[in-house]
Amino acid sequence: MCRLFGLHAGSQPVRATFWLLDAPDSLSNQSRREPDGTGIGTYDAEGKAHVAKQPLAAWEDHAFAREARNLRSTTFLAHVRYASTGAHTMVNTHPFEQDGRLFAHNGAFGGLGELDQRLATLGVTDLVHGETDSERLFALITAESRRADGDVTDGITRAVTWIAKRLPVFSLNLVLTTATDLWAVRYPATHGLHILQRDPAAVHGPTAPLEARSHRIHARSEDLARSPHVLIATEPMDHNPGWRPIASGGLVHVGPDLAVTTTFPYPDSPANPLTLSDLEPSAAASQMP
């Protein structure tokens, strides 16, 4: 199952170090599926997006994902890919960038032919460079955000609702960032997605740096020992009791001031829900915990 990680540090850039494959892999352990790609996106002082990503088609490529990356940004988006659709290539590796926004997805859905027709109607087929359902979902969000005069919340709502009503859906979990905002969706309840609002100033005693670690992604920041921030992750990344699951159907928005709002704009369940048994074997394997 793909791993999502989003971090919003507020209006001032902070430094953080990331390892995208923190857990060592064994060449002799062939029973455990290895990731198909990793990537991380940030924003510079001018608000321009930067993405470093690599498909992991060969063992030597794993060095890219294991090296420490010292980055500075207001928002961060990291992804470890287990492919459900599309080859193990650069264009299919997350995060994706469109209109200066960054996007990563954990899930699977069908009906890509119908979605391609919708993208053609909206005039955004040029946004899709690879083969994944994820990039197509992002293109629909981008198209709907353009139609909503740049309102990303409205764009996400329209896009996810359209897919939920028309296409077979297993999971549409996603994180989308700009230099100033972060959005996350958990839909439906298939996969978990968690949020932590962390304010070191509210803790009695010495403050500790951010030390967030999952099965794959590891993030550390000394700067965040002193300032509040919000984390989004596939699973809780430390023992902080403040981690809470985003409820199914939740659309979370984190603004520049770190204010968090959650709305529930989608149908309770997709019109055509999928189960693991409905997916192709490779896609089903990518969705296993």
For the chain, the structural domain boundaries read 3-23+33-108+173-286
Q: Which residues contact 169 (CB under 8 A, 6 or more apart)?
A: 107, 109, 110, 163, 187, 188, 270, 272, 273, 274
Specify the pTM: 0.94
Residues 203, 204, 209: CA angle, nearest 5 degrees? 50
* CA-to-CA separations, 74 to 14, 79, 97, in angstroms, rounded: 6, 17, 17
Under a CB-based contact definition with an 8 Å cutoff, are residues 71 and 17 in contact?
yes
pLDDT band at 85 (very low <50, low <70, confident <90, very high): confident
Closest CA to 227 of 264, 201, 258: 201
Report the SS3 class of residue 8.
strand
* Mean pLDDT in residue range 71-87: 91
Residue 33 has what pLDDT? 64
* Mean pLDDT in residue range 101-106: 97
Least trusted range by pLDDT, from 12-16, 139-143, 244-248, 285-289: 285-289
Tokens 């197509």 locate to 136
Q: How far apart are CA 145 and CA 151, in angstroms?
A: 5
Closest CA to 240 of 229, 250, 251: 229
* Mean pLDDT in residue range 260-264: 98
Report the SS3 class of residue 170.
strand
Q: How far apart are CA 176 and CA 264, in angstroms?
A: 17
DSSP-derived secondary structure letter, 196: E
Closest CA to 94 of 225, 289, 286, 288: 286
pLDDT tens per residue, range 185-234 = 999 999 999 999 999 887 766 778 999 998 789 999 999 999 999 999 99
> What share of the chain has pLDDT > 70, as a percent?
94
pLDDT band at 27 (very low <50, low <70, confident <90, very high): very low
| Residue 23 in this model has a pLDDT that exceeds 60 | no
Residue 185 has what pLDDT? 98
Find the helix or strand (DSSP H, E) in which 63 lies.
helix 62-66
Least trusted range by pLDDT, from 18-22, 121-125, 150-154, 281-285: 281-285
CATH of 3-23+33-108+173-286, one of 3.60.20.10, 3.30.470.20, 1.10.3720.10, 3.40.30.10: 3.60.20.10
| Residue 34 in this model has a pLDDT that exceeds 80 | no
Q: How far apart are CA 269 and CA 274, in angstroms?
A: 11
* CA-to-CA separations, 10 to 180, 207, 223, 265, in angstroms, rounded: 8, 18, 12, 26
| Residue 26 in this model has a pLDDT that exceeds 60 | no
Stronger pLDDT, 32 or 142, i.e. the higher one: 142
Q: How far apart are CA 234 and CA 24, in angstroms?
A: 19
Q: How far apart are CA 146 and CA 92, in angstroms?
A: 23
Residue 119 has what pLDDT? 98
Least trusted range by pLDDT, from 34-48, 153-167, 259-273: 34-48
* Mean pLDDT in residue range 247-252: 98
